[in-house]
Structure 1
Amino acid sequence: MKGEGKMVFKSKLKWVGLVGLVLSAFSLCTHFLLARYTDDEGISQYQSAITIFSWRPMFENADLSTLKPLYRRLWGPVRRLESLHPHANPRGNYAVPVSQTNGYIFVRIRGDFHEIRNSISDVVVISRLLNATLVIPEIQSATSSKGISSQFKSFAYLYNEDQFMAALANDVNIVKTLPKNLKGARRKKEIPTFNVPHSASPFFYLHHVLPVLNRHSVVELVVSEGGCLQAMLPPHLEDYQRLRCRVAFHALRFRQEVQELATKILNRLRATHRPFIAYDLGITRDVLAYYGCAELFQDVHTELIQHRRAWMLKRGIVKGNLTVNSEDQRRNGSCPLMPEEVGILLRAYGYSWDTVIYVSAREVFGGQKKLIPFHAMFENVVDRTSLTSPWELNKIYGHEPNLVDKYPKPPPSAKEEIKFEAWKTSGPRPRPLPPPPARPKSYNIEGWWGWVAESDNEPETTVMELRTNAHKLLWEAIDYTICVEADVFIPGFDRDGKGHPNFASLVMGHRLYQSAASKTFRLDRKKVVEHMEEIRDHLYEANRTWITSVRRHLRKSIIDRLAEESTKSKSLSFLSFPVPECSCLRPEIEALNYSSSPSTPSQFLAGLGGMHPCPSWMNNNTISSPNDKETDEDLDDDVTTSQLLFRSSSDNHEGDGEEINTKEDTQMEDQEELEGGES
């Protein structure tokens, strides 16, 4: 009986174990099914709440009143530019494109993000100028040969093709591909090709390209300099300038996955219920080489910059000597501002240690160590990596082929036969041993810069590096969206490695078009360096006079530098300054501004010339009353000198983080609040 009882008991245990295993398997299956089919948005929200943020925002005071004069000075709109509004619609007689065109224009575009954006706007204008059908441009940095996902085809890797075609339906005929017969001719290299010069004139296209287009029904344009049409067009082509604006600011939308991630990052920044600054570094190897700023860095970075400058000199990209006095270049304002200098400017202007700052950068040449002083001055410094998880970034890349060998092959060993032959031919003893066989280059190089110590020639770009360059386009697309929407934007540099307007210039142009009153600092780097030289021996301690001078410069840069940019940047890139062609003036705001302060907007707008009044349907919005405006009092007043202490993030975050511990500092802060911040 006892034996039978034990058998029954063991049998029951087996059944219990079996049921447990079945339930476990069912639970796992359910979990995987939920993970597979749950809505992506729900997953991303779950992930964002748990794993995303390496950023833990720290704020001194949760109450940030928008009614205070100090808030208006730091974050408020530029009242003197509130009268400018975006208006890029055609004016006058503007015919829709006809179905019968002169032929097809196929375009291959090379370059970085800002060059691609400029070039696309130009080729659309050229297509309308020549009455041609535009084939959606091919972005060379985003082709399948660069190791990116095969689910995207060049242009679609970065932008939304359907939106692009729909937005320009009334301007240009656009198709996705060439007809089959022309596609075959292109594969056989039978269609005429033009390597278009930078900033070519309309005359070039009308008298050189158009006749060839009429004969062959197709031409191929290769654009590699970041723009294939001159920035300034004759007055009778003003509607073509507005077409540029419609392309850049309306038709060019990023593809859905990229746009959604950029919106998520923007929402995460806004979730703090605080305004934020976007800061574009502009510190790239090409820029430093082009302007001769190598000596601002040390060791291997200087060597890398000098190597690139030698490469530029050899190809005629830059003129001059290989060795340039970098300190003189810096004093002339020809070198990017370092993050430490920008941080000191922002702190001197009044932004506290807990200000949220988004750092935009295609690359940070010199490494993250260049940002250490900046992080010490501001606690809440973030970028796209600290506001997203790795899987969110990987999602926008799509499924990419594996280019990394998980099991790298060991260095090849010398063959025994070679050793024996060497011994036979080495002569009488003592026999000198032959040199060891050369190892593959990958085993000799320590780090991405290792080739500098071994060769005068930079190694060829690998497929992995080409893929990373394609990824950088997506990173810049995200940064571009954040910078355009930021409450305040400040650039570290506004030129690229060819002397043309760069990413930051496009951002400033977009902000001027979309929301001219948004605060955008356009720094005069030469004057900034002069300010920095005044306190070179005590960078983190400044007297009242110096602070007042810096604040005046920053406030003036918002308005006064616009007139200079309208001649310098605009002549190189129309999209960096699309005013007045793509803007209009609200009449009632203009009247209020002129009556309250005759010199405020009138001089600037008169200097631009050709300002069009806004249509009547745009004049229904509420406008600022003159009573809301703060007087632009001079910042000079006779107050005893004081010290400005920049506390690091490791300090005790108590107090206002700006001027502390002295009676004079308190007086200065009170005076700033009384002055407000009318720009």
Structure 2
Amino acid sequence: MLALAAHALAEGQNKPEPKDLWLEPFIPASSWKPCADQHNWEPNEGKNGYILVTANGGMNQQRVAVCNAVVLARLLNATLVVPKFLYSSVWKDVSQFSDIYQEEHFINYLSPDIRIVEELPKELQSLDLESIGSIVTDEDIRKEAKPSFYLKNVLPILLKNGVVHFLGFGNRLAFDPIPFQLQRLRCRCNFHALQFAPKIQETGALLLQRLRQHEGHPGGPLDHYLVGSYAEAFKRQNQSHPKKASRYLALHLRYEIDMVAHSLCEFGGGEEERKELEAYREIHFPALTLLKKTTKLPSPQELRSEGLCPLTPEESILMLAALGFNRKTRIFVAGSQIYGGRSRLIALTNLYPKLVTKENLLSTTELEPFANFSSQLAALDYIGCAAADAFAMTDSGSQLSSLVSGFRIYYGGGKMATIRPNKRRLASIFTKNSTIEWRIFEQRVRKAVRQTKHVQTRPKGRSVYRYPRCKECMCRTE
């Protein structure tokens, strides 16, 4: 099928692309405007005690945890200590909050909502939090617990001991039901309070400049949020050489070994692949390994038919070719440490010669400050994806894809196209790809993706970070 795609791209390189390929449904999408910055309440005094949070996971999981912690501080009338990030054996990154975000902006922006301090008062720093029962882990809180759970179970600990430490704090606060202002605070934190640190913004602006292949770019609200004043700085430096911007497509390949191993899917690598992924699971996902031994789980074939397997790099590229992106399309690939090695990524350039990664666009010297800091590198990928003219996600469950697509809705003015594949439908198409003509494959893929390209308000219980079209985050103008 890759050979058929290559032939089709070569034959149609001067053929016009489908009219809606780079577009969102503009009229319904543009009727929603950002308004999470609005609030009408008094600042929280934080007099009930202090909340410590040590967030786990990668950059995007940690971001969600920080937003939830901000809401809990308001809910419990507590003072939030600037969150810390837990070292992970998967991510292997020692980055802390101020390495990724602007700490002063975070504290000041949220000062009308909650009280935030850099550290615990000295009299509380010597407490043995475990012995006094002030450590609360993810095991103590069910996933997406309601605010009432915290008022009933955590507030008494806070009032008794003066401090509560949420250790490994993940996705532990419900999206519904939750009071309007608390939900809005969640949006305010995500879309306004968390701005990347200056060194990330500066390198991110350089990345965007090279992706767009021009010296100056008018930018917009999203550019300003992502890279701050650095976008304007690059524009001023080069305004004597104006060039028209080149549009680009960003593709998030969530196909790193942790995702591949955790999916329990198979990807055509036979016994060698099974042994490698099982060994990885035993080290990094021991609970999943145990579950496999004690519980009958769906087979890899069943998982794939249900659309629960991540798209492979080859499937992702086939999808883009079938949608009509021509051979000249500039494609930025995020998450480029793909399972199977760089040779797998290089093979895709046979179809799209202008396929690039941040490693291609930034020099070794420019990337050196971020070496061994996976979360900071993820922030650069985040910037490249969020600012793209079109963004294609390959796994709808990915936190980066969810957060990026939400940002594009919130700041994009209805102009930033996002491709959200229905993996179950695509799985059905891909299983037949060796027996159908390219023209039929193309038609089926386009239909499957077009069905997901619509403007919708946030479904009940779903993430406000991914679906910000709701009264708490955005205001409708019609």
Secondary structure of the 1:107 match is: strand
Unpaired segments ≥5 residues, structure 1: 1-59, 398-467, 496-500, 588-679
Aligned residue among 404, 424, 429 for 1:531: 429
1:127-142 correspondence runs (5 A): 127-141=73-87
Give the structure 1 partner of residue 256 of structure 2.
Answer: 284
> For residue 166 of structure 2, what is the amino acid of its counterpart?
L
Residues 366, 299 of structure 1: alpha-carbon distance in 2 compared, 3 angstrom cutoff: farther
Aligned residue among 421, 445, 452 for 1:550: 445
2:154 pairs with 1:209: yes
Q: Distance in 2 between matches of 1:494 and 1:270?
A: 26
2:145 pairs with 1:200: yes
> For residue 452 of structure 2, what is the amino acid of its counterpart?
S
* Contact 2:394–2:420 under 8 Å retained in 1: no
* Contact 1:113–1:473 under 8 Å retained in 2: yes
How far does residue 382 in structure 1 lie from its aligned partner after superposition? 0.7
Secondary structure of the 2:260 match is: helix
2:22 pairs with 1:75: yes
Secondary structure of the 2:154 match is: helix
Residues 183, 362 of structure 1: alpha-carbon distance in 2 compared, 3 angstrom cutoff: farther
How far does residue 161 in structure 1 lie from its aligned partner after superposition? 0.6
Give the structure 2 partner of residue 232 of structure 1.
Answer: 176
* Contact 2:251–2:393 under 8 Å retained in 1: yes
Q: Distance in 1 between matches of 2:293 and 2:390?
A: 33
2:355 pairs with 1:486: no
How far does residue 345 in structure 1 lie from its aligned partner after superposition? 1.9
Q: Distance in 2 between matches of 1:74 and 1:223?
A: 41
Give the structure 2 partner of residue 307 of structure 1.
Answer: 279
* Contact 2:57–2:88 under 8 Å retained in 1: no
How far does residue 535 in structure 1 lie from its aligned partner after superposition? 3.0
Secondary structure of the 1:294 match is: coil
Q: Distance in 1 between matches of 2:323 and 2:291?
A: 41
* Contact 1:339–1:373 under 8 Å retained in 2: no
* Structure of larger gyration radius: 1
Aligned residue among 252, 255, 259 for 2:194: 252
Give the structure 1 partner of residue 101 of structure 2.
Answer: 159
Secondary structure of the 1:194 match is: strand
Question: Per-residue CA shift, 1:408-427, capped at 9, x if unaligned?
Answer: xxxxxxxxxxxxxxxxxxxx
Paired residues, number: 425
Aligned residue among 16, 41, 44 for 1:94: 41
> For residue 529 of structure 1, what is the amino acid of its counterpart?
A
Q: Distance in 2 between matches of 1:230 and 1:243?
A: 14
1:10-409 correspondence runs (5 A): 70=17, 72-79=19-26, 80-90=28-38, 93-98=40-45, 101-141=47-87, 154-186=96-128, 192-196=134-138, 197=141, 198-224=143-169, 226-234=170-178, 237-272=179-214, 273-309=245-281, 311-314=286-289, 320-321=295-296, 325-361=299-335, 363-396=337-370
* Contact 1:185–1:191 under 8 Å retained in 2: no
* Contact 1:313–1:319 under 8 Å retained in 2: no
Q: Distance in 1 between matches of 2:334 and 2:306?
A: 25
How far does residue 308 in structure 1 lie from its aligned partner after superposition? 4.3
Secondary structure of the 2:150 match is: helix
How far does residue 297 in structure 1 lie from its aligned partner after superposition? 2.9
RMSD: 2.9
> For residue 84 of structure 2, what is the amino acid of its counterpart?
E
Aligned residues: percent identity? Answer: 29
Secondary structure of the 1:303 match is: helix
Question: Per-residue CA shift, 1:543-573, capped at 9, x if unaligned?
Answer: 2x4433332332232117x57xx44xx7364
Q: Distance in 2 between matches of 1:188 and 1:531?
A: 53
Q: Distance in 1 between matches of 2:294 and 2:431?
A: 29
2:445 pairs with 1:503: no
Secondary structure of the 2:310 match is: coil
Residues 86, 546 of structure 1: alpha-carbon distance in 2 compared, 3 angstrom cutoff: same
* Contact 1:295–1:325 under 8 Å retained in 2: no
Aligned residue among 548, 566, 575 for 2:465: 575
> For residue 238 of structure 1, what is the amino acid of its counterpart?
F
Give the structure 2 partner of residue 584 of structure 1.
Answer: 475
* Contact 1:281–1:492 under 8 Å retained in 2: yes
Question: Per-residue CA shift, 1:571-629, capped at 9, x if unaligned?
Answer: 36432222213111122xxxxxxxxxxxxxxxxxxxxxxxxxxxxxxxxxxxxxxxxxx
Question: Per-residue CA shift, 1:76-107, capped at 9, x if unaligned?
Answer: 3432312122111345x422223x61111111
* Contact 2:370–2:377 under 8 Å retained in 1: no
Q: Distance in 2 between matches of 1:332 and 1:480?
A: 28
How far does residue 474 in structure 1 lie from its aligned partner after superposition? 0.8
Secondary structure of the 1:490 match is: strand
* Contact 1:356–1:380 under 8 Å retained in 2: yes
Give the structure 2 partner of residue 521 of structure 1.
Answer: 419
Q: Distance in 2 between matches of 1:265 and 1:147?
A: 22
* Contact 2:333–2:356 under 8 Å retained in 1: yes
Residues 147, 521 of structure 1: alpha-carbon distance in 2 compared, 3 angstrom cutoff: closer
Secondary structure of the 2:454 match is: helix
Residues 265, 552 of structure 1: alpha-carbon distance in 2 compared, 3 angstrom cutoff: same
How far does residue 299 in structure 1 lie from its aligned partner after superposition? 4.7
Question: Per-residue CA shift, 1:356-381, capped at 9, x if unaligned?
Answer: 11111163112223324422110111
Residues 521, 96 of structure 1: alpha-carbon distance in 2 compared, 3 angstrom cutoff: same
Residues 172, 533 of structure 1: alpha-carbon distance in 2 compared, 3 angstrom cutoff: same
| Large movers: runs of 4+ above 6 Å | none
Residues 165, 327 of structure 1: alpha-carbon distance in 2 compared, 3 angstrom cutoff: same
Q: Distance in 2 between matches of 1:227 and 1:332?
A: 24
Say which structure, 1 or 2, has more relative contact order (CA 8 Å, 6+ apart).
Answer: 2
Q: Distance in 1 between matches of 2:474 and 2:293?
A: 35
2:409 pairs with 1:512: yes
